Amino acid sequence: MQTANGPRRRHNRIRHTIPHLVLLAVVLSSVCQGASAQDAGGDPFARGAWRFEAAAHAATEAWNYNVSHEELYGISEGVTYGVREGLQLVVAQRIYYVSQRANDSWLLGLTAGVRKRVYRRGRFSGFVDIQVGISDAAIAAPPRGTRFNYIAIGGGGALWHVRRRLDLLAGLQWIHVSNNSLKGPGRNPDIEALGPSLAMLVRF
């Protein structure tokens, strides 16, 4: 039996994790100052390159309809780090407003993954990315589901190096939300949504 304190504990765990991620980024940044010298040209995909990333994402359910049709509108903030030339590690906190036929919901999530450059020409880079993580919703999302869900986000797009400390990103992202049948297959309706994303990357 789930008590009223259960959801609150999950929210607290996610909220307390965020400053830990920021602290980890600061510590790693100081440790990797030598590697960051390779970011002298301002390439966000360079080895040792640190970026703060703020993004917006809007998506509508594209297939696998359940009893409801969902639309998601979200923002995220996080950090990226150049693991090696052309490959970024991405860690982000995400907040989505979920519009659904039942009561609408808010979803708070944490994701981590990689972004790989697949093409480069001048100031433009083409990329693909994938992130996975966990989330907790104010109200079950989608309906008949659960408040706790796993999320996966993937897609691709283009990044424009505007100037030394600033890059802009535009892409198309798919988002999957489900609980992996934690409460049984009868309570695992999922969300499969697709839509555009925009982001700004700022050099540390």
Range of the domain at 92: 5-38+45-203
Of 97, 141, 146, 136, give the one whose Cα is nearest residue 11.
Answer: 136
Condensed to tens digits (0 to 9), the pLDDT of residues 146-181 reads 899 999 999 999 999 998 899 999 999 999 998 887
Looking at the 3D structure of the chain, how many domains does it have?
1
Query: Which pLDDT tens digit goes with each residue over 39-67?
Result: 656 899 999 999 999 999 999 988 765 66
Find the farthest-apart pair of alpha carbons in the chain and give their distance in angstroms, rounded.
58
Q: What is the CA radius of gyration of the chain?
A: 18
What is the share, in percent, of the chain residues with pLDDT greater than 90? 59
CATH number of the structural domain spanning residue 52? 2.40.160.20
Q: How far apart are CA 130 and CA 116, in angstroms?
A: 9
Q: What is the mean pLDDT of the chain?
A: 83
Global pTM value = 0.77
195 has a pLDDT exceeding 60:
yes
Phi, psi of 9 (to 5 degrees): -65, -40
